[in-house]
Structure 1
Amino acid sequence: MPEPVIITCAITGSLHVPSMSPYLPLTPEQITREAIAAAEAGAAILHLHARDPDDGRPSPDPDVFRQFLPRIKQSTDAVLNISTGGAPGMTMDERLAAAEWASPEMASLNMGSINVGLYPALDKIKDFRFDWERGFLEASRDNVFKNTFKDIEDILNRLGKGHHCRFEFECYDVGHLYNLAHFVDRKIYDPPLFIQFCLGILGGIGAELDHLLHLIRTAQRLFGNQFEWSILAAGRHQMPMATHNVLLGGNARVGLEDSLMIERGRLAESNADQVAKLAGILRALGLEVATPDEARARLGLKGGDQVGF
């Protein structure tokens, strides 16, 4: 029998701006409420960023994370996964500040430097809620998300060795798998691996089934049976690609970080709506939804009692 599917929910992210959806959680209270509801709907892992409560811009401030991480942990057993990607323009120390304070079970780790093009959204937004949004999107024409080999090794050492944190390795292209293999070969990080294939982002690999199959087969050649894999697909590709991936034996990520829609032409009113929709698809396919403890066992996590919040 196939193993239960691990659902990750990415609650708010750092790339969508508030004017794109009134349902995007911005404040600690909104993030808390959305995260708890997503866990109740079936998410075993909650992937978390923070935003400035006043204007919704991405924030690396540990004081903002302190306002929602303990409250989520008190209300759910889900694995709390903190971003190390932060947002464009943040320094490495800013990107790691919250995770080093929180000492989480899991953190995300982008496996290379990439272009992330957000500027096409400018053609779709008529009115901006906050002054910073237009410039933030426009700047993505010329910004690069930087994660060099040194950056990746520093994160692996500071959080992995320093806090016994495990990682969601975010791979936006095939070369990122070879970057990951480089660190595994050097014994800087030991399996089991949790690989997140990120498809459909402008600047990364496209959200096509052929690309997904190539990523899976490449990972199998590089890592044998020592990895679990999941998929996130941006925008309209979210549910179709998630469905393809679980039928291939993988796991899936949903959430308003990756797509603001629940179906064609309709905004998702909550993260929980997306989780519930995916969970319903899984059950219709005869698949089970993994619990947080099942995810912990399969991914080799240290346990919720070992975090710093």
Structure 2
Amino acid sequence: MAKSNKIIISCAVTGSVHTPTMSPYLPITPRQIIEESVAAAEAGAAILHLHARDPDIGAPTPKASVFQQFLPAIKQQCDAVVNITTGGGIGMTMDERLEAAYWAEPELCSLNMGSMNFGLFPAAEKIGTFKHDWEKPFLENTRTNMMSNTFAQIERVIRDLGHGLGTRFEFECYDMGHVHTLRWFVDQGLLTPPFFVQGVFGVLGGLAALPEHVMYMRRLAQDLFGDDHQFSSLGAGKHQLAILTLTALLGGNVRVGLEDSLYLGRGELAKSNADQVRKVRRILEELGFEIATPQEARDILGLKGGDRVAF
């Protein structure tokens, strides 16, 4: 891994996984996303990973017109790196998933490195009454549908956004095969270092949030990319802090946020993304680590800079 004594904290502000019924603190409207993003950046997040939601009902939306309502304001109010999703949500077409990124020309985008089952349906079984009609079918749909990221789809994102717009990627790896897929694209000459490898642990259909899985993926990334990469991880739900602490001890970076976990501690809903950032920052600093600023994150990841985006 490229040597740095700084840990990059990413914050995934709202995502497309959780629904409004699950937490009253989930950011829904553009104004809420702006406020949550800026507060997370002020708390220490160098990177803000962003999805959009329908302002009226809270459903995930890929529409650039909604991203346009919050991206410029976030850029005006903080210096954090904006990382836009290309995963969108299950059921979205590739054209829909890329619509916002084509418009925004961001410094960084997420890029899922393989097709997989992404099981959210167990959550539907635990909730009696939903706030909105769309929520239960949305969750149950993950029992019969998959998250599609074929080789052709991945290559399209790399060529259109990477080669075409100078965007770099947070390569989301839910399994060991995804790390090998990333290596394959590198070997084809389609990607250049540094590579930002984001391990995802605890999603039903991907790797469980177990210490041995984190350690193996960390070692695999080191074997495949050496000093040409930065490793990071996220732990879904209750696994968040344990996975992130282990990752930091292994020399990696961390990702928090209400996309990944709605909780601050056991049985305690997080009232904001900033609360999660502050908590992980406190843990990391007490362990002796330093937190990267947005500009340091840009330098570490080789990003083009906030002055070269389209918003």
TM class by shorter-chain length?
over 0.9
SS of the residue corresponding to residue 198 of structure 1 reads strand
Q: 1:44: how far off?
A: 0.1
Alignment of 1:45-60 (within 5 A): 45-60=47-62
Give yes or no for contact 1:235–1:258 (8 Å, CA) kept in 2. yes
Q: Paired residue for 2:284?
A: 282
Counterpart of 2:100 (choices 98, 101, 112) is 98
Provide Cα deviations, 1:148-169, integer angstroms capped at 9, x if missing partner: 0000000000000110000000
CA distance in 1, matches of 2:6, 2:303: 17
Q: Which amino acid aligns with 2:222?
A: Q
Q: Report if the CA contact (8 A) 1:2-1:287 is conserved.
A: no
Task: Report the equivalent of 1:209.
Answer: 211
Could you tell me how far apart the structure 1 residues matched to 2:164 and 2:288 are? 40
Other structure's SS at 1:140 match: helix
**After superposition, where does 1:100-179 map in structure 2 within 5 Å?**
100-179=102-181
Deviation for aligned residue 1:2: 5.7
Amino acid at match of 1:303: G
Listed as ranges, the matches of 1:224-303 within 5 Å are 224-303=226-305
The code of the aligned residue for 1:80 comes to V
Counterpart CA distance in 1 for 2:205 and 2:261 is 17
* Structure 1 range deviating more: 116-125 or 230-239: 116-125
Amino acid aligned to 1:53: P
TM-score (norm 1): 0.99
> Aligned partners of 2:5, 2:79: CA distance in 1, in Å?
20
1:12 to 11, 14, 18: 14
The unaligned stretches of length 5 or more in structure 1 are none
Structure 1: distance between partners of 2:81 and 2:102: 16
CA distance change for structure 1 residues 144 and 222 in 2, over 3 Å: closer, same or farther?
A: same
Q: Normalising by the residue count of structure 2, what TM-score does the alignment of the two structures yield?
A: 0.98
Paired amino acid for 1:292: P
Counterpart check, 1:31 vs 2:26:
no
Shift of 1:17: 0.8
C-alpha separation in 1, matches of 2:117 and 2:47: 26
Secondary structure at the aligned position of 2:204 is classed as coil
Q: Does 1:67 align with 2:69?
A: yes
Secondary structure, counterpart of 1:12 in structure 2:
coil
The aligned residue for residue 225 of structure 2 is: 223
* Deviation (angstroms), 1:75: 0.3
| Distance in structure 1 (CA, Å) of the matches to 2:97 and 2:16 | 12
How many residue pairs align between the two structures? 309
| Contact preservation (8 Å) 1:2, 1:249 | no
Aligned counterpart, 1:306 = 308
